[in-house]
A and B are shown apart, each in its own frame.
Chain A
Amino acid sequence: MTALTEAPALASAPPTTDGVPRRRRRMTLSARIAGGVVLLIAAVAVVGPFLVADPLAGNPAQRLLAAGTDGHLLGTDGQGRDVLARLVDGTRLSLLAGLVPVLFAAVVGTGLGVAAGLAAKWGHRLIMRTLDVFYAFPAVLLAIAIAAALGSGISNSIIALAVILVPPVARVAETETRRLVDLDYMEAARASGATRFAIAVRQVLPNVAPPVVVYCTALIGLSIVYAAGLSFLGLGVSPPTAEWGLMVSDHTQYIYSAPFLAAIPAVAILIASVAFNVLGDCLRDLLDVRGEARV
């Protein structure tokens, strides 16, 4: 996985095409690993809950069992519930809580960004200045405040995260749209009498999509961490539902008696986040490679 970050060797390279094939090969390797992990997580989220024991069924006689005892592969938690079952069962909610805000932000942010980029001066100002207001808040704190205002519950945590993710996505889309508007072929499209909406759909969206997709892929990792963080603070799902962030905060109580317990859901969050971040990096590099080829 680490091989990937060596990939973009841009500076002071001699004018050769050399090394590009190798770079591509390496990238697809890390992309494959990351993609594999993401698929695995997705598969666990879909079918996992059917394969493991009841995540809510606890046996108080079997509290805090060490990993591997009595068929509990990852041990049991403070209420004697199987940790593996809870981890697998929690995948679905943890993933959803991270993915849905990004999807929402991708759609709304792209819409706002493209609209701002194509709008007349006052429209552009109105949209961008409004977004600036949201930029003025420290993002996490704003999410916490919104989630707190709406009350706990997974849908509220999703709304809170979506609100803080829209402005940066919109900025990416706006920048890209602005860049396109300055290009000649947009002039040509306007001159040929295409309406703004037609231009937006046919000319702008296909070009804005790649950078937005790359950016959003990179946001998923962050969003998963934040979503679990909101649960950790008690703003996401409510107990006894299995969810990674909630498990971290739940296991924290036993930090002295079973120190590894708190690390298990944390590692799950880390793996998911790393996988999406690597995937985002690979997408970005692929896009850069394509950009080079176009020149």
Chain B
Amino acid sequence: MLTFVGRRLLTAIPILLGVSIVVFITIKIIPGDPVASLLGPTGSAEARAALTERLGLNDPLPVQYFAWLGHTAVGDFGTSIARRSDVAPMVLDALVNTLILTAAAALLAIVLGVVVGALTALRRTGPLARIGNAFALFSISVPQYSVGLLLIIYLAAGAGLFPVSGMYNPGGDGGFVDLFNHLILPAVTAALVPAGIIARMFRSAVLDVMSMDFVEALTARGLSRRRVMVHAFHNTVPSLLTVAGLQIGYLLGGVVFVEAVFAWPGIGLLVYQSISQRDLPVIQAGVLLSALAFVLLNLLVDALHAVVDPRIRT
């Protein structure tokens, strides 16, 4: 078990290195002169040359990469061009906010997906099954940004039930209730697509398991229908975990739209705002941290997988 996790951790290292290379290259191909944007239009030629030298921009690319990697590894993401402040705390705060939203949306998506998936697998006809199937189909097709807007229109702005945007009320106490109220609409919006995907996957997982031999064998042992179902659902857990892990990863990225619509101060919003300001260090750090969170999440899912399924615990 521990060796299993340890091995997985080792495989994550080359992937993270690859991730850092991709991020580095992405930033390097961006047109525009970072020195000019740091100094502003008034910078003198000497100042420009000095800064270029100081930033190491005259070095060959591999040297620049390793220098950047070294800084990044110790949490030094540089200085934001637009905000003139340290990137690291800014991005870390945003990451925490994104993780809050992601966790809430993931919880909703998993509960909704499992309920709808089980329902449509066990009852294949009738109005409930129809509603479930329609939900699974439409929810994977919706553009999240529009759903978010519609929710704002009708539930927030229209009915005044929920706050329109942000994470806390300005001047509020920043308490949990305030956070919860702000969280509901973005979480529902972000959860829709993964809920639909989980529902569809879980439905076929249930059908797969129910068609497996051991269901009949368990019935033949004299177990009640309820007990047999407990065994069957236990056996859907590994595939549910795989799908849920993928979808949470998807959420980490997909919340960008939601954060943009609801002004949720997460990584997505930060990156979105930095795009228009061409604030490259922030974009770089945001994407890198998201990828790091994503890789760690995958590791966690792998470890959980080994916990629930003895067959892969080797």
A–B direct contact (CB < 8 Å): yes
Residue positions of A touching B, CB distance < 8 A? 1-2, 4-6, 8-12, 129-130, 132-134, 136-142, 144-146, 148-151, 221-222, 225, 228-229, 232-235, 245, 248-249, 252, 255-256, 259, 262-263, 265-266, 269-270, 273-274, 277-278, 281
Q: Which residues of A contact B141 (CB under 8 A)?
A: 221, 225, 270, 273-274, 277
Asked, given contacts A10-B211, A255-B157, A270-B138, whether A140 binds B291 with beta carbons under 8 Å apart, the answer is no
Q: Decide if B227 is an interface residue (CB 8 Å cutoff).
A: no
Q: Which residues of B contact A148 (CB under 8 A)?
A: 30, 271, 275, 283
Nearest CB in chain B to that of A266: its residue: B146
Q: Which residues of B contact A12 (CB under 8 A)?
A: 210-211, 215
Nearest CB in chain B to that of A152: its residue: B275
Stretch of B41-49, B74-82, B83-91, B248-256 contacting A (4+ beta carbons < 8 Å) = B248-256
Contact between B211 and A138 (Cβ–Cβ < 8 Å)? Answer: no
- Among B133, B146, B290, contact of A141 (Cβ-Cβ < 8 Å): B290
Q: Which residues of B contact A262 (CB under 8 A)?
A: 146, 149-150, 153
In the bound complex, CA of A5 to CA of B26 (Å): 41
- Among A10, A133, A256, A259, contact of B19 (Cβ-Cβ < 8 Å): A133
Residue of B18, B27, B30 with most chain A CB atoms under a 10 A cut-off: B18
Minimal beta-carbon separation of B245 from chain A (angstroms) = 12
Q: Decide if B257 is an interface residue (CB 8 Å cutoff).
A: yes
Nearest CB in chain A to that of B138: its residue: A274
Contact between B150 and A263 (Cβ–Cβ < 8 Å)? Answer: yes
Asked, given contacts A145-B271, A259-B153, A262-B149, whether A1 binds B256 with beta carbons under 8 Å apart, the answer is no
- Among B18, B124, B286, B290, contact of A133 (Cβ-Cβ < 8 Å): B18
Asked, given contacts A133-B22, A225-B141, A262-B146, whether A138 binds B253 with beta carbons under 8 Å apart, the answer is yes
Contact between B275 and A235 (Cβ–Cβ < 8 Å)? Answer: yes
In the bound complex, CA of A141 to CA of B120 (Å): 32
Contact between A141 and B253 (Cβ–Cβ < 8 Å)? Answer: yes
Count contacts on B: residues with CB < 8 A to the other chain. Answer: 69
Contact between B287 and A232 (Cβ–Cβ < 8 Å)? Answer: no
Minimal beta-carbon separation of A33 from chain B (angstroms) = 12
Residue positions of B touching A, CB distance < 8 A? 14-16, 18-19, 21-23, 26-27, 29-31, 120-121, 124-125, 129-130, 133-134, 136-138, 140-147, 149-150, 152-154, 157-158, 200, 204, 207-208, 210-211, 215, 249-254, 256-257, 260, 267-268, 271-272, 275-276, 283, 286-287, 290-291, 294-295, 298
6 closest A-B pairs by beta carbon, nearest first, are A138-B253, A266-B146, A133-B18, A140-B253, A5-B133, A273-B141
In the bound complex, CA of A228 to CA of B146 (Å): 10
Minimal beta-carbon separation of A170 from chain B (angstroms) = 15
In the bound complex, CA of A129 to CA of B173 (Å): 48
Contact between B294 and A138 (Cβ–Cβ < 8 Å)? Answer: yes
Nearest CB in chain A to that of B292: its residue: A136
Nearest CB in chain B to that of A264: its residue: B146
17 new A-B contacts at CB < 8 Å, known A5-B137, A5-B200, A142-B287: A6-B125, A9-B124, A10-B208, A130-B18, A133-B22, A136-B16, A138-B254, A225-B142, A225-B144, A232-B257, A234-B275, A234-B276, A245-B143, A248-B149, A255-B149, A262-B149, A269-B146
Nearest CB in chain A to that of B122: its residue: A11
Q: Which residues of A contact B145 (CB under 8 A)?
A: 229, 232, 245, 248-249, 266
Q: Which residues of A contact B137 (CB under 8 A)?
A: 1-2, 4-5, 274, 277-278, 281
Contact between B291 and A255 (Cβ–Cβ < 8 Å)? Answer: no
8 examples of A-B residue contacts, CB within 8 angstroms: A129-B14, A130-B18, A136-B19, A138-B294, A141-B287, A149-B29, A229-B143, A274-B141
Contact between A149 and B30 (Cβ–Cβ < 8 Å)? Answer: yes
In the bound complex, CA of A225 to CA of B250 (Å): 14
Q: Which residues of A contact B210 (CB under 8 A)?
A: 11-12
Contact between A233 and B256 (Cβ–Cβ < 8 Å)? Answer: yes
Asked, given contacts A136-B294, A273-B143, whether A141 binds B15 with beta carbons under 8 Å apart, the answer is no
Contact between B15 and A145 (Cβ–Cβ < 8 Å)? Answer: no
Minimal beta-carbon separation of B216 from chain A (angstroms) = 8
